[in-house]
Amino acid sequence: MTRHIVARTSDIPLGGNKVFGVEGRDIVIFHVNGEFFALLNRCPHEGAPLAKAACVARLTSPEPGVYQRSRVGELLRCPWHGWEFDMRNGQSWFDPQRVKVRSYPVAVESGQVLAEGLEKGPYVAETFPVHVEDNYVIVET
């Protein structure tokens, strides 16, 4: 897998999303409840952009007249025809084994750790200490 540093964590607002072009694909990254999720920005039904999807909760009913919300904001409802998908793994709600959106692993790492992991060549120039304090979102394709 190839790792792509796509954004600072602060570039994607909590409850929002942002689309990035990665290796010719549009990948949408959602920021929900402090976590980041990456999906192909294309509904498997007829291709709607999932960046425009509503982020909804799971609603269950243990008995008539009683409703419980969970996983608030982690389910996507496609803007065109309402198919629903799990943001964590791309599975559809109605047929999770056969219909899914492509999902990608996401990591958050500090800029300092990323800078330390850069490969260094055989020649060494005079250097000065630099500190990178932001965190970055990394998607693996």
Where on the chain is the footprint of ligand FES (CB under 6 A)?
A: 43, 45-48, 78, 80-81, 83
Least CB distance from residue 39 to ligand FES, whole Å?
12
Least CB distance from residue 81 to ligand FES, whole Å?
3
Question: Phi, psi (5° rounding) for residue 52?
Answer: -95, 0
* Strands (E) located in the chain: 3-8, 17-22, 25-32, 35-40, 54-63, 66-77, 84-86, 103-104, 106-110, 135-140
| Nearer residue to ligand FES within complex by CB, 6 or 74 | 74
The Cα–Cα gap between 37 and 139 comes to 9
| Nearer residue to ligand FES within complex by CB, 83 or 104 | 83
| Nearer residue to ligand FES within complex by CB, 38 or 78 | 78
